[in-house]
Amino acid sequence: MIAPGQLSSTRAYTGRVISLDVDEVRFPDGSVGSLEMIRHPGASAVVPLLDADADDPMVLLIRQYRYAANGYLYEIPAGRLDAGESPLQCAHRELAEETGYRAERVEQLFTMFTTPGFTDEKIHLFLASGLTAGDSHREADEFMELVPTKLSRALSMIEQGEIQDAKTALALMYAAEFRLS
C-alpha cells in the first residue's frame, strides 16, 4: 500500500498573512484528489493573569474588532509568528504589543490546529504571570480595548456564548482545568 500524502503543490496566491496552495494528494484508500490549502506561518496566544495566585485570578481579555466576524470578539492576546521567531518569543511580543504588559513567567500550555480541514495553521497557547504594566504598540489595523475579567466570569462568558473565539475559549478552559485548579 502506498502511504497517503502530498503528490504535488501549486501556489495559487501569496498574500501578506496567508498563501493558498492547490495540492494533489493521495488519500489513505489510495485515491487521489485536489485540496485547496491555506498556508499560515503559525501563531502564539497568551492567557495573561494579573494575580495568578488568587483563587479567582484576573485575566486580561481583549475586545477586538474582527471584520470576518462582522463585529467585536473577546480574545486573549495573539498574533502570527514572524520569520525566524520562536512561539515563546511571539507570545512575549504579542502580549506586550496588544496589552502593554510584560510577563516574568510564560509557560506553554499546548499547541493546536485551528481548522485542519483547510489550513496548516497552528496556534501555540501560553499562560503568562508576573505581569508588569507598560505601553502597548498595536498595529494600524488592530482596534481593541483591554478588558480585565475575573477568570470565573470569562468561563461564564464562554458558556453564555459571549466568548466565541475558539482559541480563547479553549485556552481559558484549559488553563482553568489543568493549570489553575
Sign of CA dihedral 111, 114, 116, 122: negative
* 58 contacts 172 by C-beta, under 8 angstroms: no
- Sheet of strand 122-132, all strands in order from the earlier edge strand to the far edge: 78-80, 43-48, 122-132, 102-113
Catalytic site residue from 94, 104, 142, 145: 142
CB-based burial, 138-171: b 16+ in 10 Å, e otherwise: eeeeeebebeebebeebbebbeeeebebebbbbb
The pairing of strands 43-48 and 71-75 is unpaired
Helix (H, G, I), strand (E, B) or coil at 112: strand
Cell of 168: 480563547
Angstrom distance (rounded) from CA 123 to CA 100: 21
Mark whether 24 is an active-site residue: no
* 125 contacts 108 by C-beta, under 8 angstroms: yes
> Residues with catalytic annotation?
142
